[in-house]
Amino acid sequence: MSDLTVNEITSILEGLIENPYMFYVIVDSDGIISSINQTYLDILEMKKEDVVGRNILDITPSSGLPEVLRTGRMDKADIWTVKGRDTIVTRVPIIKNGKIIGAIASSLFLDMSGAKILMKKLQETEKEFTAILEGLIESPHMAYVIVDKEGYITVMNQTFLDILEMKKEEVIGKYVLEILPHSKMIEILKTGRVDKADIWPIRGQDTIVTRTPIIKHGKIIGAIGHSLFLDMSGAKILAKKLQETEKELSLYRDEVSQIYSARWIFDDLVGCSQEFLAVKSMARQLSYSISTILITGESGTGKELFAQAIHNGSERKNWPFVRINCAALPENLLESELFGYEEGAFTGARKGGKPGKFELAKGGTIFLDEIGDMPLTMQTKLLTVLQEKVVERVGGTTPIAINVRVIAATNRDLEKMVENQEFREDLYYRLNVVGLNIPPLRRRMDDIPLLVNDLIHRINQCLKTDISGIEPEAIDLLQEYSWPGNVRELENLLERAINLALMHGEQLIRMEHFPSLNQKNKDKKFAKIEILDDGQSSLPQLIEKIEKQMIIQYLQESGGNKQQTAKMLGIHSSALYRKLSKYGLE
Ligand SMILES: Nc1ncnc2c1ncn2[C@@H]1O[C@H](COP(=O)(O)OP(=O)(O)OP(=O)(O)O)[C@@H](O)[C@H]1O
């Protein structure tokens, strides 16, 4: 406004204000009227030309404008009677470059009948409010006290009086600390803070107390304290229920953390062969990352152990490790197991729904075992989840964000499955961000002595036995076998051997305690001879044929490990090398 002249302001206002319920007058710095609207002229019963150019005091002797011109102060909402009608007048100085160059008076006309209706409504509302307040104050479930700004009690309801076993006249007008020595009301008066839902004992009963200052015109004029009284019998039932629920909850929590936890750590993974150590060190590295991992390897090689160790070596170790066997469930169940379901999603759906494994694994790791056996339609759904990082429960519509590391495992040849269109190629690449291949036991026969000792120790603990060890010949026997069932098979055979040893009253495991292995080794050798005996070869030729066949067979069984093959053949490795070159098998 300060950049405009009085005349400019006048013309703007003249254009704007043609409101019959508003009147205004503008004067310059000398109090000379420069503009006036029709509404005001009608009140004065004068014409514009008789008013403009004259001093405001000539027209309205009691005008407040000269005072505004003198002081530069604004008059907000002054009640002003014009021809017997009350109006609210606002007077504003017009200031330009720090100087008062004029003033405006404008007023909103109040129609008095309207004002009366307003007043009546206000009174009614007030009555209603008072009734509500009284109702509240007299509520038997609520204790109430009000103090004035000095801390003297002005109101106390019957409930509070009953608790204190006092009469109204004994408390009203008393200093609050005299009646309630530990009251915090004085602090509220001093600080103006609000205490919402404080737990406070009143006569030995814990109650929920709220304390609020009463503020008028920015000043604290008192304070209210009220408490919600719990019916004690109800409260006790509630408390009992709460305790029971808490117990139940902690039981579930324990159960969940027991079920969904990983046991194995890297130190438990036994092996000293080059191949095994390389895989172990790679897995250790992977535990620091969050990438999805695909663990491949034959059945019983320790894929799940590796997955657990990776989880336990990661930052997620205190969160769940949730395993799901994708081969064990039919397709429809697999979906609800993985993603959960909402109440009423299908007949038999549990009330309240059920979280899926992805939800349960929140913050942790989900281990998708036997991923190669997942049906194609589920593969598509899994791919979407991995891409979008949200799951939707079966029958639900709300997406749930998941923060889960995925480790998948399979003993199947996924690449071949992709070729045969039995496994989605895009899912394969999404899972195989990092691949970890656990070598079969026959490719790392050097691990056998260590593994055997570790397994004997574990089986001893489990069966509460005390087998002292194993004889070297038995170890040799174990190292000659091809272990199609890998470490799991070794574990089973050892357990059987321990039982046999104990039955014979022995503490040491010997070759004889592996009858099936002895038999298998014999069968294998006989089988080869039978196949090779064509009845036409001379003896030296036949011997050479047998030798060549055996070398090929053992090489295959040991995964090309020559040292291992030599051991299986019972010859020195240099002899094996000579024979390899003799038969063109290098
Ligand atoms: N390096 C190891 N050190 C100690 N024990 C091992 C090792 N590898 C495997 N085992 C033993 O072998 C058993 C089988 O391991 P695991 O279940 O992890 O194999 P897997 O490859 O996941 O098998 P599957 O493909 O059948 O699910 C384990 O219970 C464990 O006792």
Per DSSP, which regions of 170-315 are E strands? 195-202, 205-216, 219-228, 293-296
**Do 492 and 485 meet the contact criterion of CB atoms below 8 Å apart?**
yes
Q: Write down the pLDDT at residue 133.
A: 55
* Calpha distance 268→313 (Å, rounded): 12
Secondary element (H or E) of residue 525: helix 515-532
Q: What is the pLDDT of residues 57-72, one digit of tens each?
A: 998 888 889 988 888 8
- Measured distance CA(57)–CA(182) in Å, rounded: 64
Identify whether the C-beta of residue 59 lies closer than 8 Å to the C-beta of residue 79. Answer: no
**Residues of the chain under the 50 pLDDT cut:** 1-3, 15-16, 110-119, 121-122, 125-126, 129, 230-234, 529
Q: Which amino acid is at 181?
A: P
**29 closest CA partner among 61, 70, 64:** 70
- Amino acid making up residue 381: K
- Entry pTM: 0.54
Query: Tell me, what's the pLDDT at 111?
Result: 45
Coil/strand/helix, residue 446: helix
- DSSP designation for 346: S
Q: Is the CB of 391 under 6 A from ligand 1?
A: no
Q: Is any atom of ligand 1 closer than 6 Å to the C-beta of 491?
A: yes
Task: Using alpha carbons, select from 141, 225, 212 the residue that is nearest to residue 183.
Answer: 225
Ligand 1, atom nearest to 270 Cα: 3
Going by alpha carbons, the residue nearest to atom 18 of ligand 1 is: 302
Q: Is 302 in the pocket of ligand 1 (CB under 6 A)?
A: yes
Angle, in degrees to the nearest 10, between helices 472-480 and 486-503: 140
Q: In Å, how far are 134, 135, 155, 159, 201 from 169, measured between CA atoms?
A: 18, 21, 10, 15, 24
CA distance 200 to 431: 57
Tell me, in angstroms, the distance from the centre of ligand 1 to residue 422's CA: 26
H or E element in which residue 78 lies: strand 75-82
Q: How many helices (H) and strands (E) does the chain have?
A: 25, 21
Give 152-189 pLDDT, tens digit per residue: 998 888 888 888 889 989 999 999 999 988 888 999 99
How high is the ipTM of this complex?
Answer: 0.97
For a pocket test of ligand 1, which of 487, 494, 495 has the largest count of ligand atoms closer than 8 A to its C-beta? 487
Domains, the chain, in order of start with CATH, read 6-112 (3.30.450.20), 119-228 (3.30.450.20), 266-439 (3.40.50.300), 473-579 (no CATH)
Closest atom of ligand 1 to CA, residue 411: 25
